[in-house]
Amino acid sequence: MSLFDYTIKELEQKLHNKEITIEELVDTSYKRINEVDSEVHAFLTLNEEAARKQAKELDEAEDKSAALFGMPSGIKDNIVTKALRTTCASQFLDNFDDPLYNATVVEKLNNEKTITIGKLNMDEFAMGSSNENSSYDPTRNPWNTDYVPGGSSGGSAAAVAAGEVLFSLGSDTGGSIRQPAAFCGVVGLKPTYGRVSRFGLVAFASSLDQIGPITRTVEDSARVLEVIAGHDPMDSTSANVEVPAYTEALTNDVKGLKIAVPEEYLSEGVTPEVRDSVMEALKVYESLGATWEKVSLPHSKYAVATYYLISSSEASANLARFDGVRYGVRSENADNMIDMFKKSRSEGFGDEVKRRIMLGTFALSSGYYDAYYKKAQKVRTLIKNDFDKIFEDYDVVIGPTTPTPAFKVGEKVDDPLTMYANDILTIPVNLAGVPGISVPCGFSEQGLPIGLQIIGKHFDESTVFRAAHAFEKATDHHTKRPQLGGAK
């Protein structure tokens, strides 16, 4: 069997009918990893011994009613897992073999009896858009291993696209779930800020970070969000808002849905094939009874600059704890405490992490705080207000997830500004705190996936799912599979 062939619901039915066992499911996952991960490099740490033991116990259990019973999953390596190595793809945490607790999302998955197959590769400390900033091996795109999978959750998207796990968790600070989902031809959801607990997520930018699922179908995404969403007293930014039954929103009915299409999301920098794929998607929505109009999000042109000032400033503060004292790799070449701080950080952090720490420290420094960080926060409010105004008249905002399909490994690594601009369409969603999903909507001439981004109102993931599911059911983009390791 192949994990490519089934949804969560279909596997549950097979388990219920005793057509398969959890041990067979887990075995399928590890066989696929052994077959293709030497090409993809999606995993940093495998959990094979514990996973196989858990699978055997679940097969013997009488109660099999848990929401994600026995489903094989991968966890991005910046989400802490008790007794399972968590590195954030950084040499600084290379020896962080046994975190003392699980992140809340991991606890929620464990409560529903999912099986953690392993920890997934990423850009170091979630800083990057290509997964080339991993201090281990860069992850490759399963559709063409000469290309990047996107970032920072590149391993999370590639593992699902390659059929190594059924679903994964990623984190999204400026597009880090949606962009790799688009590049890898899978479904990636960034929930509303506060919808999913951040407790146990190694912080990059605390006012922007959000954990979300990467899956092969919209229905699977809804099912996973039902499990991981909800208020958490361990996270002060967690919203005490009721979690709907998202799967009930998957009605295939979008008649009367009002869609806003920002002119800025189809303008300069967006390639013709991406633009054409989005326009074709809008025709699908018209055929389903929805309507769309062009609108403007005038402050979105400031989003990239605003994001990098705010996120780098918060990263500067958050990463101050990594100093070689309490945990992490300590430099052995230091003569005194100050020297030990400097050398541990210099040797432990990669170039991109150092670049953002320096940018953030500068933006927060005396004499520059008002000119940069404070001004960026004001512009962030304007960007949020743009969305609020649009949502007074429209149900969802739709556009491309990324301006281009995936680019080649090494193509942009020496040009950080061009790399940063790749997130121009996803960043505004994080700044505004609204939910957004990427679903496959076409392919480039090179056969690389293209993603459609659907953005909703605060805490209205149900409408986002409804719109995404209707499009998915009316098209076949999500059924295509990369040719990798002999499997399509």
Return all residues near 61 (Cβ < 8 A) that are at least 6 apart: none
CA dist., res. 180 & res. 401, Å (int): 10
Count of CA atoms in the C-beta half-sphere (13 A) of 394: 25
CA dist., res. 78 & res. 103, Å (int): 10
277 carries an active-site annotation: no
Residue 76 — φ and ψ, nearest 5°?
-55, 145
User: With a threshold of 0.85, does the pTM exceed it?
Assistant: yes
Burial class (CB in 10 A: 0-12, 13-18, 19+), 461: buried
Assigned domain for 279 exists: no
Residues 409, 138 contacting (CB under 8 angstroms)? yes
CA dist., res. 183 & res. 140, Å (int): 11
312 carries an active-site annotation: no
152 carries an active-site annotation: yes
Q: Looking at residue 438, what is its pLDDT?
A: 98
Strands (E), 287-338: 291-295
CA dist., res. 341 & res. 16, Å (int): 55
CATH number of the domain residue 36 falls in: 3.90.1300.10
Q: Looking at residue 419, what is its pLDDT?
A: 75
Assigned domain for 218 exists: yes
Catalytic residue among 73, 76, 108, 462: 76
Which single residue is written with the structure tokens 């920072």?
152
Lookup: tokens for 333:
């070449």
Work out the angle between the directed axes of helices 461-474 and 218-228 (0-180°, nearest 10).
160
Q: Looking at residue 487, what is its pLDDT?
A: 45
Q: Looking at residue 308, what is its pLDDT?
A: 95
Assigned domain for 351 exists: no
Catalytic residue among 152, 277, 316, 462: 152
Owning domain of residue 403: 9-260+392-479
Assigned domain for 303 exists: no
Assigned domain for 314 exists: no
Assigned domain for 311 exists: no
Pairing verdict, β 72-76 and 43-46: unpaired
Amino acid at 296: S
Assigned domain for 170 exists: yes
Cα-atom radius of gyration of the chain, to the nearest Å?
Answer: 21
Which single residue is written with the structure tokens 């979105």?
300
- What is the residue-level pLDDT of the chain in tens, covering all 488 positions? 788 789 999 999 999 999 999 999 999 999 999 999 999 999 999 999 999 999 999 999 999 999 999 999 999 999 999 999 999 999 999 999 999 999 999 999 999 999 999 999 999 999 999 999 999 999 999 999 999 999 999 999 999 999 999 999 999 999 999 999 999 999 999 999 999 999 999 999 999 999 999 999 999 999 999 999 999 999 999 999 999 999 999 999 999 999 999 999 998 889 999 999 999 999 999 999 999 999 999 999 999 999 999 999 999 999 999 998 877 889 888 889 899 999 999 998 999 999 999 999 999 998 899 999 999 999 999 999 999 999 999 999 999 999 999 999 998 877 776 777 788 999 999 999 999 999 999 999 999 999 999 999 999 999 999 999 999 999 999 999 998 865 44
Catalytic residue among 29, 176, 313, 462: 176
Domain count, the chain: 1
Assigned domain for 332 exists: no
Q: Looking at residue 485, what is its pLDDT?
A: 67
